[in-house]
Structure 1
Amino acid sequence: MIDSSDYNQYRVGDVVYVFYRNPHTQDVANIQEAAVVNDPDNPKGLALFLYETYYPLTEEIAVYPNEQSAEAAYQQFFDGDLFDD
């Protein structure tokens, strides 16, 4: 996930990558490209525009600057066993 120091690196027009869960099949997650845009609900904030929907860009969303970073994190979180001894 991004932290407050990384949050300032994004600008309107940037393309980023996020994990997106299928709303119909919650156990399926994919890497999706999203655009950084002005938040229509908060003039001072930024949002992610994904599938015709705005999501406020907050530290609660895992955002990756490129597809390779997103794929590495995806492998760690979804394909690897996070509970190895």
Structure 2
Amino acid sequence: MRGSWSDFSIRDTINWVDRSSPSNTPPTNLSIKEKLLKNIFIAGLNPKNQLMAEEYRKKLPLEGLVKLLTMNEIRAKHDPLPPYHP
């Protein structure tokens, strides 16, 4: 006999939680790899972006740094430069 619809939704919920829950394994290897990748990424940036990335290095994951720097570059291209007054 097949399960009822209520059984189906409970199983779906359990499967969703299993997929979305963090694993129980310690993320030590992942964090080491991410730190290495962050260092390589930051080293390849221009000096202005390196300063910003260094400021947010510990607060944001690599993906967050990329988004922050991308938004900063887009904003810089669309915002006019301030007038030059010697």
- Highest relative contact order (Cα 8 Å, sep 6+), 1 or 2? 1
Q: Rg larger in 1 or in 2?
A: 2
Select the structure that is richer in strand: 1
- Common fold: TM-score over 0.5: no
TM-score (norm 1): 0.27
